[in-house]
Amino acid sequence: MSSNKKEDTKILLFQIRDDAAIAQHELKVVAENSGLAKTNFASVNVVSDTRPSLAELKGYDAVMIGGAGGYSVLDDQPFIPYLEDVVRFVRENDIPFLGICFGFQIAVQALGGAIIHDKEHMETGTFLMRRRKVSDSDPLIGDLPYEFSAACGRQDRATVLPVGAVNDITSERTPYNSLTFPGSKFFGVQFHPELWRKEDNVLRLRHYKEKYSLSDDEFQKQLALFHDAPESQFIIRNFVEKVVLASPQIHTDGVTDINRSQI
């Protein structure tokens, strides 16, 4: 693949953030782990920004939906049905897609699976993931160890996957940690590959301490659960290099970039 194509790649990242600093941090770590420049990303915060029409999504080489520490896919928020429409649109139009944490959950929900609130089995910290051998040919996770660590921060989890979807990663507290449709360009992971550094997880946990209702003692215990998880950092880069750059470019010059990020 030519370097020119990589330089011209355009990925739309949907964010679900109340705090501008956390939104910028999310964009920063996603870009850093993608192998692309920050300027290759456009970001739309569905909480506060004007939302693009579904037709405008065809102006991008890929669509990503990130995490949402302050929101659940089970919330009664106007952007929930919109993001569900986004998921169905990219699936129907074969636009490369990656959902991370909330993005994984909204994909499951939009396509007919089930998400529940389950604080008893919440995962906040760095947890052991187990990859199934059958996923060796998967472009995102096939080169990961069969056991690897990943950063997590969730209270909701999937209990049923959409028809035709497969999961190839399990953890002690939830059986469903990944999502794809065999032969498609559609992927999701329940954990946070962009937050593989402990320092980034600590920053997030401090921000969402009140949301997770953690006492000071609980907060310190949660901090101790985080450590670096370097194996998971390659998932976003694999998505870009093995899925997005391996697909024909779909964007057109006539589509205006939305909030195209600047370095």
Lowest mean pLDDT: which of 38-47, 152-161, 182-191? 152-161
Distances (CA, A) of 100 to 6, 92, 145, 151, 245: 22, 19, 20, 11, 19
Query: Is residue 254 over pLDDT 60?
Result: no
pLDDT value at position 214?
74
Query: Is residue 226 over pLDDT 70?
Result: yes
Pair of tokens at residue 200: 């980034």
> What are the domain boundaries of the chain?
3-244
Give per-residue pLDDT as tens, 72-111: 999 999 999 999 999 999 999 999 999 999 999 999 999 9
Reported as type and span, the H/E element at residue 124 is strand 123-131
pLDDT value at position 2?
33
Q: Give, as one character, the DSSP assignment of residue 116.
A: E
Which CATH number, 3.40.630.10, 1.10.3720.10, 3.40.50.880, 3.30.1490.480, labels domain 3-244? 3.40.50.880
Helix (H, G, I), strand (E, B) or coil at 80: helix
Q: For 172-235, give the DSSP string.
A: SS-S--EEE-TTSSEEEESSBGGG-SHHHHHHHHHHTTTTTT--HHHHHHHHHT----GGGGHH
